[in-house]
Amino acid sequence: MNSKSGPPSPSQQCYICRKRRIRCDSTKPSCKKCVSKGVECPGYSSQRPLVWLQDGGNQNQYLGEQNVNPSERKKRKKGRPKMLVATDEPDTSGDTGGRSHSASNTVGLSASEGMDAIAPACGIMQRSAMGEWWTHCEGARRIIDLRGGLRSVYMQNPGLRSSLAYFMLADIMSATTAAALPVAEATRQLEYCALIPDMFQNGLETCVICPNELLDAIIQINHLRSLRHYGIRSITGTDETVGKSVMQSIISFPVSEWADKMSAHYSKTAADVLIGETRSGFIQPTRDDWIQIATMYYAAVLLYCIRSLALDSLEEVLRVPCTLGSSESMVSYVTVEETQAVARQILFDRLGSVLSQGKRGKQALEKVLIWPIFIAGIEAAMDPRYAGRRRDPNVKGRKSLSVWVMESNI
């Protein structure tokens, strides 16, 4: 039997000839038609040969186009979109605060986008008549938490101080008009206490001109209220002891000193703004205006403390400092019940005085007294005797004791 192989079968076609749709001569090792064309014959395998292309495309070409003016970019052809190719060195210029780029990828939100979202959300919270304000508050809180917390956001973006102050106010004050917060949220608010002096600054850039010390007290009350509601004992003492301590700090707040400080600060600010000329629309509060504002917040925070922590049944006395003349001072002691009655009377009297002054244009004090007005409404609802701001005859009889002592501190 002849073992010599015969010529290739005519059915064998090289890949080039099959692709060109011509008849291959099936010559081995390379067909003559490929040789005549000057190309390398890929052989007679049934598999498509692997062909290496010279000078392949630049994988980073698309990324490089991002820095080109949009008008100068080539028009994208219709069809399948270009593939996005990741770079070896990701751009971390948007990251702040030393956080890793991987954390930013997990968040899915760049720093600039996150900061741009906070200001509009805070603006909507300022117009809180809109029913969706709480959703925006939660969204702003989530963004702030993802960016490292309120302190971190403020330190990185000091220009957002006013917006962040409004966010902080919405978070704090909303807890005073609703059910007790969960303990975790109330504890989180304690972090605001260290930011109040620098960020809030007595509310001068907001519509809630509340002394720093009294806003701090509101946060403490919210926290104690939450602990009391969920039956958790404070690590600093019993509910009554801690509540009395907070109320004592409120009573000791120096209204007159705060008014003097604010009057001096605002006079300097007004001088810088006015630059020697008078502007009719510029608000110029007097020392008496600062007294009115501080006194109403002083009384409102006292009432909120007593109501929220149920201290009206506490049979203890509170230490109330007062000043006689220029140097002589004394200390008086009043009960919680007397303190509540006097604070209520002071709030209604001062509020009645402000509302009876009529409209004063842009200097109407009621514009910055929304929260004390709310507390006054609660007190009027709880005690019908105060509906219509009528004076309590029992409090009037104690003018020489409680009212005189507490007002002497003002």
Give me the number of domains the chain comprises: 3
| pLDDT score for 302 | 94
- How far is the C-alpha of 228 from the C-alpha of 8, rounded, in Å? 97
Q: Does residue 250 belong to any structural domain of this protein?
A: yes
β partners of residue 333: 319
> pLDDT tens digit string along 266-316?
777 655 544 444 444 445 788 999 999 999 999 999 999 999 988 877 677
Are residues 173 and 236 located together in one domain of the fold?
Answer: no
Are residues 173 and 246 located together in one domain of the fold?
Answer: no
pLDDT band at 408 (very low <50, low <70, confident <90, very high): very low
| pLDDT score for 278 | 45
- Residue 287's SS3 state is helix
> Scanning the structure block, which residue is given the tokens 């939450």?
226
β partners of residue 321: 331
DSSP-derived secondary structure letter, 361? G
Q: Select the more confidently predicted residue: 101 or 221.
A: 221
Are residues 215 and 178 located together in one domain of the fold?
Answer: no
- Residues 407, 398 contacting (CB under 8 angstroms): no
- Listed in sequence order, the residues at least 6 apart from 219 whose beta carbon sits closer than 8 Å to its beta carbon are 172, 189, 190, 192, 193
Listed in sequence order, the DSSP H helices in 212-286 are 212-229, 239-251, 255-274
Are residues 252 and 393 located together in one domain of the fold?
Answer: yes
Look at residues 410, 395, 400 and name the one whose alpha carbon lies nearest to residue 348: 395
Are residues 28 and 167 located together in one domain of the fold?
Answer: no
pLDDT band at 168 (very low <50, low <70, confident <90, very high): very high
Are residues 264 and 307 located together in one domain of the fold?
Answer: yes
> pLDDT tens digit string along 372-381?
999 999 998 8
Which of 25-29, 113-117, 134-138, 402-406 shows the lowest mean pLDDT across its residues? 402-406
The residue type of 115 is M
> Scanning the structure block, which residue is given the tokens 């052989």?
43
Q: Read off the pLDDT of each residue in 232-252 and give the average, rounded to a whole number.
A: 85
| pLDDT score for 11 | 64
Q: Which long-range contacts (CB under 8 A, 24 or more apart) does 65-68 make?
A: none
Q: Does residue 267 belong to any structural domain of this protein?
A: yes
DSSP-derived secondary structure letter, 197? I
Are residues 335 and 371 located together in one domain of the fold?
Answer: yes
Q: Does residue 373 belong to any structural domain of this protein?
A: yes
Are residues 152 and 289 located together in one domain of the fold?
Answer: no
| pLDDT score for 201 | 92
pLDDT band at 169 (very low <50, low <70, confident <90, very high): very high
Are residues 232 and 298 located together in one domain of the fold?
Answer: yes
Residue 43 has pLDDT above 90, yes or no: no
Q: Does residue 67 belong to any structural domain of this protein?
A: no
- Listed in sequence order, the residues at least 6 apart from 45 whose beta carbon sits closer than 8 Å to its beta carbon are 15
| pLDDT score for 300 | 96
Q: Select the more confidently predicted residue: 250 or 54.
A: 250
Q: Does residue 278 belong to any structural domain of this protein?
A: yes
3-class DSSP string for 292-358: HHHHHHHHHHHHHHHHHCCCCCCCCEEEEEEEECCCEEEEEEEEHHHHHHHHHHHHHHHHHHHHCCC
- How far is the C-alpha of 236 from the C-alpha of 20, rounded, in Å? 91
pLDDT band at 265 (very low <50, low <70, confident <90, very high): confident
Are residues 383 and 265 located together in one domain of the fold?
Answer: yes
Q: Does residue 75 belong to any structural domain of this protein?
A: no
- How far is the C-alpha of 307 from the C-alpha of 228, rounded, in Å? 13
> pLDDT tens digit string along 104-146?
444 444 444 555 555 555 555 455 545 666 787 888 888 898 9
Both tokens of 388, joined, read 């219509």
Listed in sequence order, the DSSP H helices in 21-81 are 32-37, 61-64
| pLDDT score for 55 | 61
| pLDDT score for 49 | 76
Look at residues 392, 292, 279 and name the one whose alpha carbon lies nearest to residue 338: 392
Q: Does residue 2 belong to any structural domain of this protein?
A: no
Q: Mean pLDDT of all residues in the chain? A: 74
| pLDDT score for 9 | 54
Residue 14 has pLDDT above 70, yes or no: yes
Backbone angles phi, psi at 310, to 5 degrees: 50, 50
Q: Select the more confidently predicted residue: 29 or 110.
A: 29
Which of 78-82, 224-228, 346-350 shows the lowest mean pLDDT across its residues? 78-82
Q: Read off the pLDDT of each residue in 87-93 and give the average, rounded to a whole number.
A: 48
Identify the domain boundary among 182, 217, 244.
182
For the whole model, what pTM was predicted? 0.62
Both tokens of 342, joined, read 């006097």
What CATH number corresponds to the domain at position 28?
4.10.240
Are residues 272 and 391 located together in one domain of the fold?
Answer: yes
pLDDT band at 320 (very low <50, low <70, confident <90, very high): confident
- How far is the C-alpha of 322 from the C-alpha of 311, rounded, in Å? 23
| pLDDT score for 97 | 43
Identify the domain boundary among 139, 166, 182.
182
Q: Does residue 249 belong to any structural domain of this protein?
A: yes
Q: Select the more confidently predicted residue: 212 or 355.
A: 212
Are residues 255 and 156 located together in one domain of the fold?
Answer: no
Q: Give the CA distances from residue 37 to residues 28, 30, 41, 248, in Å, rounded to whole numbers and listed in that order.
A: 16, 12, 10, 102
Containing domain of residue 338, as a range?
207-408
pLDDT band at 75 (very low <50, low <70, confident <90, very high): low
Both tokens of 49, joined, read 């040969």
Which of 30-34, 159-163, 192-196 shows the lowest mean pLDDT across its residues? 30-34
Look at residues 173, 155, 293, 161 and name the one whose alpha carbon lies nearest to residue 222: 173
Q: Read off the pLDDT of each residue in 17-39 and give the average, rounded to a whole number.
A: 83
